Amino acid sequence: MIYYKTEEEIELVRKSSLLVAKTHAEIAGLIKPGITTLALDKIAEEFIRDNGGVPAFKGYGGFPNTLCMSPNDQVVHGIPNDNVLENSEILSVDCGVVMNGYYGDSAFTYEVGELDAETKQLLKVTKESLYKGIEQAVAGNRIGDIGYAVQQYAESFGYGVVRELVGHGLGKNLHESPEVPNYGRRGRGVMLKEGLVIAIEPMINMGTRRITQHNDGWTITTNDNKPSAHFEHTIVVRKGKAEILSSFEEIEKKING
């Protein structure tokens, strides 16, 4: 069952999504060699609660923390720990918030210290593929148009597009219908209508698209141990042009000093 949102509900999703964006910005400047993901997680949880939200992921399906923090070859669902971040690593951070009964969800992959050109390109292309998908999220198109745009762009650089993990609708629940794959065929799948709120979230691997889930029940890594990047926006389908409800603006200000 697909649940289309009223303008009032869209505003509530926007508020939650903007708290997600501010939470990202709160830790963005701290993601440097020498800090642990667990320390970042605690800062994020405190910030969310201080601003009237509740961490959406903590306790969800038994997940133990506020943020999914996935370094290097971890694709998604990494559990924060006491390991120190090292120079030349990447860190994918996925954050969700629930506030006033509505969810927001957004992910960003951060550079830790100095990156090599090959990994920098992976991050750049993954983020660009997200916006290629968003361009297709307009009334009258279909779900397959979003996935096709992401897949075509990422694969043109020789990257692997993860199949098993997908974007999703969201609103009163963190995961609602429809699923939003990062691959697909044009003109296939659910018709997009105004008021559909979805999270689009390309997970793009430098090498193989194949992945493995670890024994902790959460952590997912690439099968060839090459890095993976993840960017995600919450958007609402409109006529002509999708509206992005989350934001990378404050994150990028922090990163770029």
- The token pair at 154 is 């990422």
pLDDT digits (tens, 9 = 90+) for 61-106: 999 999 999 999 999 999 999 999 999 999 999 999 999 999 999 9
Give the three-class secondary structure for 192.
coil
pLDDT digits (tens, 9 = 90+) for 143-154: 999 999 999 999
Place of tokens 């999914």: 68
Give the DSSP H or E segment for 206: none
For the domain made up of 7-255, give the CATH fold. Answer: Creatine Amidinohydrolase (3.90.230)
Query: What is the rounded CA–CA span in Å between residue 134 and residue 44?
Result: 27
Is the peptide bond preceding residue 202 cis, with omega within 30 degrees of 0?
no
pLDDT digits (tens, 9 = 90+) for 141-182: 999 999 999 999 999 999 999 999 999 999 999 999 999 999
Q: Which sequence spans correspond to the domains of the chain?
A: 7-255
For the chain, what is the mean pLDDT? Answer: 97
For 89-147, give the DSSP string: EEEEEEEEEEETTEEEEEEEEEEES---HHHHHHHHHHHHHHHHHHHT-BTT-BHHHHH
